[in-house]
C-alpha cells in the first residue's frame, strides 16, 4: 500500500473511532439524564408524609402554649395602651403650653410694634423740637423719660421676642413629635391584635384535628385541674388568713376582691366587671383599696416596693416570665389568684407552675 493509501486508511479509522466515542458519550449522557429524572422527578411525585396524629395530652399542651402566648401578647397590647394614655396626657399639657406661648408671643409682638411705631413717628424730631410742638407740655415731660427708657431697651425687647418665638417653635415641634409617636403606637395595637388572633386561630386548628372524644378528654382534664387548684388554693388562703395580717391589711382586702371574681372568664384587655386579663384583675383588686395601678403587668412591676419571695404577704403582686408578661395576687402557701389565658377563668394556681420573675407590694 502506497503512502497516500495508508494516510487515507488511517483517516478513515480515526473517523470511525471518533464516531464510536461520540455514540458512547451520547448514550452515557442519556443514562445520566434518566438517572437524574429518577432521582429528582420521581420522589417529587410521592405524596407528602402526613403529620403524626396528636394525642389528647399533646394537643392540650400545644393549645395551652398557644393560648399562653396570646395572653402574653395581650399584656404587650395593654402596655402599649397605657403608653398611649400617658402620651395623650403629656400631649395635652404640651398643647396647653403651646397655646400659652402663642398668646405670650402675640402680646410681645404688639408691644414691640407699638415701640417701633412710636420711634418711627418721632424719628425726625429731637426732644427739644417735640417739646416745642407738643400742645400738652406737662404730659410730654412726664412721659419723656419712659419713652427714652423704652428706646434704650428696644434691643432687649426684640431679643426677648425672638427668644419667645424660638420657644414657641420648639414647643410646637415637641407636640408634633409626640403626636407622630402616638400614631405609631396606634399601629402597634393593630399588629399586636393580629398576632394574638393568629395564636388563637392556631389553637383552634389544633383542636379541630382531634376527635370528639379527644376534645372531651381535654375539657375534662381542664376541669379537673381547675377544681384541684381551686381546692388547694382555698385551703392555703384560709390557712394564711388565720395568721396575723401585717401592715394596713390592704393586701388582704385586695385579695378578697380577687377571690370574688373566681370562675369569671378571661377576656382580652379585660378589667371587669365580668371578664379579666391578668393585669386587669390586679389593677381592680388594688384599686378597690385605693391604690392606682396601670393596666399592664410589665408596668405594674415598677409600682410599690420589691418583696423577697420568702416575705410574700396576702395580696402582694407576683410576676412571671422574662420579659414580664403575667401577674397574680399572692394567696398564701405558694399559691396565687390570677386570670390565666384565653379559654380559662380566674383561678388559683401554684406559683411553681410558672417561671417566677419577682414580687411587689403596692401602696
Length of the chain: 363
Structural domain including 295 reads: 244-361
284, 326, 344, 361: the active-site residue: 326
Q: Does one domain contain both 251 and 344? A: yes
Pairing relation of β-strands 335-338 and 356-361?
A: unpaired
Give residue for cell 405524596. Answer: 47
Measured distance CA(340)–CA(194) in Å, rounded: 20
Q: Does one domain contain both 95 and 37? A: no
Check which CATH number belongs to the domain holding 162 and give it. 1.10.287
Quick check: is 278 catalytic? yes
Runs of H (alpha helix) within the chain: 3-36, 56-121, 127-133, 137-152, 154-208, 212-242, 250-259, 278-287, 297-300
Q: Does one domain contain both 36 and 83? A: no
81, 199, 250, 338: the active-site residue: 338
Q: Does one domain contain both 115 and 23? A: no
The pTM for the full model equals 0.66
CA 307 to chain centre: 26
Q: Does one domain contain both 72 and 197? A: yes
Domains contained in the chain, number:
3
Q: Residue 53 has what DSSP assignment?
A: P
pLDDT tens series, the chain, 363 aa: 443 344 344 444 444 544 444 443 434 334 344 333 333 333 444 444 456 667 989 999 999 999 999 999 999 999 999 989 888 888 889 889 889 889 888 888 777 776 666 666 555 445 454 544 455 555 555 555 555 555 555 667 777 878 888 888 898 888 888 888 888 888 889 999 999 999 999 999 999 999 999 999 999 998 898 888 888 887 776 776 666 554 458 999 999 999 999 999 999 999 999 999 999 999 999 999 999 999 999 999 999 999 999 999 999 999 999 999 999 999 988 999 999 999 999 999 999 999 999 999 997
Q: Does one domain contain both 36 and 105? A: no
278, 317, 327, 354: the active-site residue: 278
Q: Does one domain contain both 68 and 188? A: yes
Quick check: is 295 catalytic? no
| Assigned domain for 232 exists | no
| Assigned domain for 100 exists | yes
Amino acid at each position: 500500500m502506497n503512502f497516500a493509501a495508508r494516510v487515507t486508511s488511517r483517516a478513515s479509522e480515526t473517523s470511525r473511532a471518533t464516531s464510536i466515542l461520540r455514540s458512547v458519550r451520547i448514550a452515557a449522557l442519556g443514562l445520566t439524564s434518566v438517572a437524574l429524572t429518577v432521582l429528582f422527578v420521581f420522589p417529587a411525585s410521592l405524596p407528602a408524609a402526613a403529620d403524626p396524629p396528636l394525642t389528647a395530652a399533646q394537643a392540650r399542651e400545644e393549645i395551652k402554649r398557644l393560648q399562653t402566648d396570646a395572653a402574653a401578647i395581650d399584656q404587650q397590647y395593654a402596655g402599649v395602651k397605657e403608653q398611649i394614655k400617658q402620651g395623650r396626657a403629656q400631649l395635652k399639657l404640651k398643647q396647653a403650653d403651646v397655646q400659652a406661648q402663642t398668646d405670650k408671643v402675640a402680646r410681645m409682638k404688639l408691644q414691640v410694634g407699638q415701640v417701633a411705631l412710636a420711634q418711627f413717628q418721632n424719628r425726625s424730631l429731637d426732644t427739644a423740637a417735640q417739646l416745642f410742638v407738643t400742645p400738652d407740655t406737662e404730659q410730654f415731660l412726664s412721659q419723656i423719660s419712659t419713652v427714652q427708657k423704652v428706646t434704650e431697651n428696644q434691643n432687649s425687647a426684640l431679643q426677648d421676642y425672638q427668644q419667645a418665638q424660638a420657644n414657641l417653635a420648639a414647643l410646637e415641634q415637641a407636640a408634633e413629635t409626640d403626636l407622630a409617636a402616638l400614631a405609631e403606637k396606634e399601629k402597634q395595637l393593630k399588629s399586636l391584635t393580629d398576632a394574638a388572633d393568629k395564636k388563637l386561630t392556631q389553637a383552634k386548628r389544633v383542636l379541630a384535628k382531634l376527635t370528639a372524644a379527644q376534645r372531651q378528654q381535654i375539657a375534662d382534664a381542664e376541669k379537673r385541674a381547675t377544681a384541684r387548684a381551686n381546692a388547694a388554693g382555698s385551703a392555703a388562703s384560709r390557712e394564711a388568713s388565720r395568721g396575723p395580717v401585717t401592715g394596713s391589711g390592704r393586701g388582704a382586702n385586695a385579695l378578697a376582691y380577687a377571690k370574688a371574681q373566681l370562675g369569671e372568664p378571661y377576656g382580652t384587655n379585660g378589667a371587669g366587671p365580668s371578664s379579666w386579663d391578668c393585669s386587669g384583675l390586679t389593677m381592680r383588686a388594688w384599686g378597690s383599696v385605693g391604690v392606682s395601678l396601670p393596666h399592664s403587668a410589665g408596668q405594674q412591676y415598677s409600682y410599690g416596693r420589691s418583696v423577697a419571695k420568702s416575705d410574700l404577704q396576702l395580696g402582694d403582686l407576683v410576676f412571671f416570665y422574662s420579659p414580664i408578661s403575667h401577674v397574680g395576687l399572692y394567696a398564701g402557701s405558694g399559691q396565687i389568684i390570677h386570670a390565666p389565658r384565653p379559654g380559662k377563668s380566674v383561678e388559683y394556681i401554684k406559683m411553681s407552675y410558672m417561671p417566677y420573675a419577682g414580687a411587689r407590694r403596692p401602696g
